[in-house]
Amino acid sequence: MNLPALARLVNGHPGLRGKRDLAAVARALGGDGDDAAVLPGDGAGELVLAAEAIHPAFVAAQPRAAGVAGVVTVLNDLAATGARPVALLDCLVAGAPDAADALLDGLRGGAERYGVPVVGGHATVAPGLAPALATFAVGRARAPLSARNAAPGDAVTLLVCLEGEMLPGEEGDFFSHLRGPRAARAGDDLLLLAAIAEAGDAWAARDVSMPGVAGSLLQLCESAGGLGCALDLDALPAPPGVPLERWLLTFPSYGFLVVGDPAALAARAAAAGLTAARVGTLDDSGRLRLAAGGREEPVWDLAAEPLTGLRADRPGPPGG
């Protein structure tokens, strides 16, 4: 295994490098970098809000698929915060009615797959307008997951669905479990994160998104206050027939890095028919590394070069 070459691939991945733009958010507004915002709630749980914008080129090229992606990404953000989804909203722009119809068809289909209603939004349709899509979701979390709860020594488990279809993209590949045998279970599988949180089996999580599993782990480390981790490539589960160098840069529609009890997480995943594997242990180095065969290769040093600047102050509540 060529660790230096893999490290270069991860470091230069457009999906990871694109996260550098979030430094503007850190400068202007601050934030802890978690997937969604948690607000004080009532007896039904904390209120959780999430928002996503889909890449305009994707919206223009594949409007229906972009509509589905708008649902998947924003609901994954809720799930990574331990929330149960309540409702979705959308804002779209299109240059023609047929483009708007395709976007809305994708949104409707994705929302129905997860059993979450679309309760409103906004649409602007006029000739010459460049297409755009943003989605918003609200949920409730009885035991919110937050990176501020993570600490050195905590185990990181990848919870993932490996049944689906690989879809190539310009910014990186997408692995869709909604095109596999578990599509009918999408809503139940998503709720597994909330059940894990409520049982106390986990205290922090992040969904694996455009940066891929290694880049998303770097985001988790930064959000946790600048921690580090060696991603164990020998333990990393991957779909059959997908090379490691491709899988490391892939955005899976169901993939979460979960900080918690690895044995409990593995048992819950097995009971649900999903895959879970311990892929690392958080430390105080501030460095993401790739590890295999007893060797390590550095990918990113957060102390030398912050990724987004979005991070929580530690220590947080004790985990586990």
pLDDT at 38: 94
Establish how many alpha carbons lie within 13 A of residue 128's alpha carbon, considering only the half-sphere containing its beta carbon: 0
pLDDT (average), residues 83-103: 97
Return the bridge partners of 160, or none.
255, 275
Q: Is the pLDDT of residue 316 over 80?
A: no
Q: Which of 72, 216, 200, 226 is nearest to 145 (CA)?
A: 200
320 — pLDDT class (breaks 50, 70, 90)? very low
How many other CB atoms are found less than 10 A from the CB of residue 267?
13
pLDDT (average), residues 83-104: 97
pLDDT at 311: 87
Residues of the chain with CATH 3.30.1330.10: 35-141
pLDDT (average), residues 269-288: 98
pLDDT at 314: 53
Instruction: Give the predicted TM-score (pTM) of the model.
Output: 0.94
Range with the lowest mean pLDDT among 98-102, 136-140, 286-290, 304-308? 304-308
Query: Which CATH number fits the domain 3-27+146-301, given the four candidates 3.40.640.10, 3.30.390.10, 3.20.20.70, 3.90.650.10?
Result: 3.90.650.10
Q: Which of 292, 214, 206 is nearest to 257 (CA)?
A: 206
pLDDT at 149: 96
Range with the lowest mean pLDDT among 28-37, 60-69, 152-161, 179-188? 28-37
Q: What is the pLDDT of residues 23-57, one digit of tens each?
A: 888 788 778 878 899 998 777 789 999 999 999 99
pLDDT at 315: 46
Amino acid in position 186: A
Q: Which fold has domain 35-141?
A: 60s Ribosomal Protein L30; Chain: A; (3.30.1330)
Q: What is the pLDDT of residues 187-243, one digit of tens each?
A: 999 999 999 999 999 999 999 999 999 999 999 999 999 999 999 999 999 999 999
Could you give the 3-state DSSP secondary structure of residue 281? strand
313 — pLDDT class (breaks 50, 70, 90)? confident
pLDDT (average), residues 78-82: 98
Residues of the chain with CATH 3.90.650.10: 3-27+146-301
Q: Which of 207, 222, 208 is nearest to 308 (CA)?
A: 222
Rg (CA), the chain: 19
Range with the lowest mean pLDDT among 53-62, 79-88, 165-174, 293-302? 165-174
The first and second tokens of residue 172, run together, are 């990186």
- The pLDDT mean for the chain works out to 93
% the chain with pLDDT above 90: 85
DSSP state of 235: T
pLDDT at 273: 97
